[in-house]
Amino acid sequence: MDTSVENQITDRSILRDAFARKNPIKISTKVDIVDLDELKDYQLRKRTEYESYLKRNRLDMGQWLRYAFFEIEQHDIRRARSVFERALLVDTSYIPLWIRYIDSELKLKYINHARNLLDRAVSTLPRVDKLWYKYLFVEESLENWDIVRSLYNKWTSLEPGTNAWNSYIEFEIRQSQWDNVRNIYARYVNVFPETTDIWFKWVEFETIYGSIATTRQVYSLAVDSLISHENTLNYIFNFQKNLIELVVAFANWEASKQEVERAKAIFNVALKKWPQNTTLTNALLNLDRRYGDDSAINDKILLKRKSNYEKILSEMPRDYDTWWVYLDLIEENFPSELLTSFKRSTSESNKPVIIPKSKIDITWQRYLFLWIRRLTHIELQLNDIDQCRKLYKQLIDDVVPHSKFTYNKIWIMFAHFEIRQDNISRARQILGKCIGLCPSDEIFQEYINIEIKLKEFDRVRTLYEKFIEFNANDLSTWFAYAQLEENLGDEDRARGIFRIMLNNDVMNFPLNRRKEIIEKFITFETDVEEYDNGRLLYRDYLEMTSYSVEVWIAFAMYQCSVPTNEQLTLLAEANEELEEDNEIEFEPSEVNFDKGREVYEEALTYFKNHDDPFGRIEILKAMQEFEEKFGNEDTQSKVAKRMPEEKRTNVLDNGVETEKIEYIFLDDIKPNESTSEPTVKVPKFLALANKWKQQQNK
């Protein structure tokens, strides 16, 4: 069996340990009393104990209660009362003492004593609800309804919390005294005028036990009372919201009684007092949906939305999100007002106040989106070209402060607008003006794309030159320029661009970017089938990276993947004899693999001459992978034999013994004179280890 399961902690093991460690219960001494004298002695001894303890700690109310219950057990109620009274003199505010005292009298059926105690208790502690509930429970159990009612009146005269009033109301409802309930509610709302929940409870009572007239009277009284107290109770959280909810409930109740006109009148009066309240507006719309005409409802809703938006925009004219929603509403439902609304939304007064120092912010973007929407509508919907051009000029010349920042989208839209009007020269002027005022990568790229589509390549070259002058550190621009020249078939120009990028006297790029450039350059030379140039570039690449292992490996793989000059000549001659669709593709052969091996050997020689064993090991590992993929068993075994052996020795360095690893390469060992095989001087420790291993194998 698994020991882990046996030792697993369970709930049973925890309980078993707890009971095992539990202290044994001391058995109390049983006292057998056989005669009256022994009883008196026992009572005297216990009373002496209680009294002596209370002299030392008279505030221990638990001890007082135990003393009193002892006297009750001895059937000496007189002494028990004396103990209770003495305890009350010590601490009158201790509620459990009063409750135990009263319960003791009730258990012994001394009802008048208990009543007197309850009366003393509520008089002494009138704010303790538990004592009042105890008194009321006793009297209601005895069916003394008048006394219960008088107690409730006395309690509520002190203006207690809502629980006391709710209990009084429930009592009168149980007694079916509806007028008394109404009188209680009348006093209740005077004590808590700000609490609408009390009014709703009164309304609910009248709905069940009253009539339509009494319910309407309560609603009217509630609204009038709360409005009259509005100025004094306005500080209360959500007072106005609760008042409006009460008005809505009143109106909905009238509508449920088929008094629609009364309900509308209530809403109209309330809307005069709170004209912008959405709760009232929505409630009135819901009433119209249920009892009104559909078209009138829709018109009312649209007009209400329009007026709400206009009010918001009059208070916050730079709320561009609201402007956008407002324009949607106008465009869909009030098209005749759309141009005026567009003009208002993009007016000078609505322009953002804060001007960013260098880059456009979200506020300006939202404002300019309103301009863009206006321009798009005028061009595409109204086809007013002259007005649209005029607005574009106004936007660029007067609205956007180009000395601080610009928004490229409006320049590009203006240029595309002129192109759609077949005015290419004006589009060029616009983009040229933008480059002169506030040049950016996006504008240059857009201008170049337009000229490429127009096949104006001399203009494209000029733009690329200006683009590079503007942002010479962006490699993507250089590469795009070189790609353009390559696509145009001007290989010398493309090659010149790459050489400029690599010339430290002209462009001093950091090493990581220079590596990216030379890799792109090699790819270019490979694409144009100038493989010798690619090989020379790899030599430069090695020098640039201080002859790193990765570049040696990449160079070797490049030599394997591209044809030699002789293979290139043969391929060209063979393809001349065939049709264009049936050209022969180059496939690497053993000649190419040998070229790759030559690079690997050159790399090994380099790392050997520079005493870099780790570089040699990485190259040998790469050669192993190469031979596994392209070689045969002979070449694979030769590379495997060239892998070094590790020699581990312990050396002392500042008194600390450390392990030193030396690598012994087969290429570094001279062949033995007597044999053609090279010999290796194996340390004595390694020789003994090999001998032990051979014995183990036997």
pLDDT digits (tens, 9 = 90+) for 494-553: 999 999 999 988 888 999 999 999 999 999 999 998 999 999 999 999 999 999 999 999
Q: What DSSP character marks residue 335? A: G
pLDDT of residue 615 exceeding 70: yes
Higher pLDDT, 286 or 148: 148
**CB neighbours (10 Å) of residue 389?**
19
% of residues, the chain, pLDDT over 70: 89
% of residues, the chain, pLDDT over 90: 36
Q: How far is CA 36 from CA 29, 39, 40, 41, 42, in A?
A: 20, 5, 6, 9, 10
Higher pLDDT, 292 or 557: 557
pLDDT for position 80:
87
Its sign, for the CA torsion 118, 119, 122, 124, is negative
Q: What is the mean pLDDT of residues 268-291?
A: 77
Highest mean pLDDT: which range of 70-79, 566-575, 598-607 = 598-607
Q: Which residues, 6 or more positions from 575, have their beta carbon under 8 angstroms from its beta carbon?
A: 583, 584
pLDDT band at 231; cut points 50, 70, 90: low
What are the boundaries of each domain within the chain? 644-698
Using alpha carbons, select from 207, 275, 214 the residue that is nearest to residue 244.
275
Distance CA 287, CA 290 (A): 5
Q: How far is CA 653 from CA 65, 90, 656, 658, in A?
A: 84, 85, 5, 7
Q: What is the mean pLDDT of residues 578-593?
A: 76
Comparing 83-92, 447-456, 469-478, 653-662, the range with the smallest average pLDDT is 653-662
Mean pLDDT of the chain: 84
On whether the CB atoms of residues 147 and 131 are closer than 8 A, the answer is no
Token reading at 291: 């009892």
Q: What is the pLDDT of residues 21-73, one digit of tens each?
A: 766 655 555 666 667 877 887 878 888 888 888 888 888 888 888 888 888 88
Q: What is the mean pLDDT of residues 377-381?
A: 93
Q: Which residues, 6 or more positions from 196, have their beta carbon under 8 angstroms from its beta carbon?
A: 222, 226, 242, 243, 245, 246
Q: Which amino acid is at 382?
A: L
Q: Is 146 exposed, middle or buried (0-12, 13-18, 19+ CB in 10 A)?
A: exposed
Higher pLDDT, 150 or 38: 150
Q: Is 623 exposed, middle or buried (0-12, 13-18, 19+ CB in 10 A)?
A: buried
On whether the CB atoms of residues 646 and 671 are closer than 8 A, the answer is no
Distance CA 16, CA 543 (A): 79
pLDDT for position 682:
45
Comparing 221-235, 335-349, 520-534, 601-615, the range with the smallest average pLDDT is 221-235
DSSP labels, 48-105: HHHHHHHHH-TT-HHHHHHHHHHHHHTT-HHHHHHHHHHHHHH-TT-HHHHHHHHHHH
